[in-house]
Structure 1
Amino acid sequence: MSKDTARLDINGSIRYFLSTAGQAPQSFGIDKYGELPPSHDFAILSNEGGVKSSQPIRTDHFALILCIRGHCSKTVGPHTFQVIPQSIHIVSPRDLHSFENASDDLLLYMILFRDAFIANTFIKEHILDALLELPSEHPPVYHLDDNEFKVIRGLFKKIAQEYQRAHLFYLQVVRLLVVELLFEVNRSHERALQQTVGRTGRKFQLVAAFKKLVEEHFHTVRTVQQYADMLHVSANHLGEQVKEETGENALTIIHKRIFLEAQYLLRTSSCSIKEIAEQLSFDTSSHFSRFFKHFAGLSPSAYKADNK
């Protein structure tokens, strides 16, 4: 990754996702149109007044996002999934992420925090690490039953209330409530795993391993055959299994990941088109331009100019 690319901090994330179309009423969390909190470690807010889609970004913080109503399509790392009511998903600083096709009625409650924010509790560090680092083979989204949704929504509201009142020791209380929320999310994760036991057979494991390898090696490993060799299977077998499991071609998954990184670098990096092409292992700038235009419908230089 280019040293010139930046990760958004919490205030940067809020400003990035805030629409310029005009102020919207705020019914939950902080007022995004007012003065943002001085701390860069924590914020609680809604998506009200936010954009309807985003380019790929990376952040220096975690996000816990509860869907109250509406829907959108979200990509986090190698996973693309639907955000629907009574679902909660997690975004880690390790993951490139974006979203699109947000419905007009989409309402999300969001908690943004750096791991340093919850480190100052009585919970041991290795337990916090386990709460934050969920298995990468599954999409980081959990569909809550009615009781789970009631409990988790209640915790979001209690955190917002504590934070807004700012009474004595409020940050300590908020930290503990966020940890409690993480435990509740992990409970939902465990229940979801129990319900998907049938999907953890050889095909699922192979495709999950393929996606993980793509995430790790897409800069330099470009063919289905290369990934098949790494997984000790034939290219035909890998392609068939990926197609059955995901509905997409294996090569399409590789190319989509390269394209996402290209978007991110073009938008956030000071590197030239030639330098970005080299970072992504294209033999020439023109090859990279043809590849990018195939997905974006415009050249890398035009995309870069539009996203300054």
Structure 2
Amino acid sequence: MTRSSLPGVPVFKLYGENQAWPTPDLLHCESIPARSSLHHWEIKPHRHADLFQLLYVRRGQARIEIEGKRSEVREAAIQVIPPMTVHGFQFSADIDGYVLTLGAPLVTQLEAQLGAPLTVLASAGCYPLGRDRRTLQTLIQVLHQEYEGSAPARELLLHSLVTSLMVWISRRRQQIGPPGNRDERNQQLLARFIKLVEQHYREHLPVEQFAHRLGVSSVHLNSLCRELTGQTALQAIHQRLLLEARRNLIYTNMSISQLSDRLGFSDPTYFSRFFRRLSGQTPNAFRQAGAAGDRPPC
């Protein structure tokens, strides 16, 4: 699979499924067999617009395709998959493990807690568990149990468990060494851009300002975004605004005027035109469809 084929690769909300985000949580955790068994143990190549994924293989075999490169996992390991990375899986019927999906806002929150960027999530990588196998197995199983439950302080514990997992992966990455090729550096630059967008998308900053903060030209930033995501830098910013608008329309009772103001638009009419241009629906129509359980994927 080449870079030029990216625009034709389907963009999924969760691996293998073009469906709406299933909960208000900014993370999703499920067993590998839960979904892959429905697809004959194969998930066709696809990508995610604004999601980071961790594939935890506990037992069994996984054939993994990342940007056209194939590899096999035959031991307990964690595979990191950044946003917009084309990937596909083939699993053995005895596969055991979990898929953890993190929304970009959650990654930003984790980075704030850690006081440093999670550069380990900026490029694809496979990290064998080695002697930490039992520790990680327990951590991820507890995370899945907590995700499936509704106990008090659930969100706090989930974030703590995910943070612990991020620390382990980051330390493992440091042991291997820093990125040494162009693709990894570009993925890290893209991750820094996504982080800046997450911090400032409500401010409607020009692309030139984002590029300046990244230390590159706007031409280079746009070229990078097109190569790795199939869209311009401005389109990426607009998609983040659209995502937040959709979430608020579904999960809050804010008026269109309040939401317009919250997202930094100069007036509700401009916001409504923006929303309709990108989604094909007015904000009110999208909200009504959501209330009827018939909304398109967020």
Normalising by structure 1, report the TM-score.
0.49
Of the three residues 213, 217, 232, the one matched with 1:234 is: 217
Query: Partners in 1 of 2:190 and 2:208 — Cα distance?
Result: 14
- CA gap of 1:216–1:159, structure 2 versus 1, over 3 A, is closer
- The Cα of 1:199 is off from its aligned counterpart by 4.5
- Paired position in structure 2 for 1:300: 283
Please say if residues 242 and 248 of structure 1, whose CA atoms lie closer than 8 Å, have aligned partners that are also in contact.
Answer: yes
Secondary structure of the 1:217 match is: helix
- The Cα of 1:89 is off from its aligned counterpart by 7.9
Instruction: Could you tell me which runs of 5 or more consecutive residues in structure 1 were left unpaired when the two chains were aligned.
Output: 1-46, 91-102, 113-128, 164-174
- Paired position in structure 1 for 2:32: 67
RMSD over aligned CA atoms reads 5.2
Instruction: Could you tell me which runs of 5 or more consecutive residues in structure 2 were left unpaired when the two chains were aligned.
Output: 1-13, 37-42, 58-76, 81-89, 102-112, 147-157, 292-298
Alignment of 1:53 onto 2:22:
no
Please say if residues 52 and 121 of structure 2, whose CA atoms lie closer than 8 Å, have aligned partners that are also in contact.
Answer: no
Q: What does the per-residue CA deviation read over 1:252-307, in whole Å, with 9 as the maximum and x for residues that have no partner? A: 11111111111111112221112111221223323222222233222110111222
- Paired position in structure 2 for 1:243: 226
Secondary structure of the 2:202 match is: coil
**Which structure would you say has the larger Rg?**
1
- Paired position in structure 2 for 1:263: 246
Aligned length: 214
Instruction: Spell out the pairing of 1:18-97 with structure 2 (5 A cutoff).
Output: 53-55=19-21, 59=25, 67-68=32-33, 70=36, 71=43, 79-80=50-51, 86=57
Partner amino acid, structure 2, of 1:53? Q
Instruction: Spell out the pairing of 1:55-204 with structure 2 (5 A cutoff).
Output: 55=21, 59=25, 67-68=32-33, 70=36, 71=43, 79-80=50-51, 86=57, 109=98, 135=118, 138-139=121-122, 143=126, 145=128, 154-155=137-138, 182=165, 185=169, 189-190=173-174, 194=177, 196-199=179-182, 203-204=186-187
- CA gap of 1:205–1:292, structure 2 versus 1, over 3 A, is same
Q: What does the per-residue CA deviation read over 1:60-106, in whole Å, with 9 as the maximum and x for residues that have no partner? A: x876666356249785xx8445676737589xxxxxxxxxxxx9x99
Please say if residues 289 and 300 of structure 1, whose CA atoms lie closer than 8 Å, have aligned partners that are also in contact.
Answer: yes
Q: What does the per-residue CA deviation read over 1:182-207, in whole Å, with 9 as the maximum and x for residues that have no partner? A: 3765565556x648432577644543
Partner amino acid, structure 1, of 2:32? C
Please say if residues 224 and 251 of structure 1, whose CA atoms lie closer than 8 Å, have aligned partners that are also in contact.
Answer: yes
- CA gap of 1:307–1:241, structure 2 versus 1, over 3 A, is same
- The Cα of 1:213 is off from its aligned counterpart by 1.2
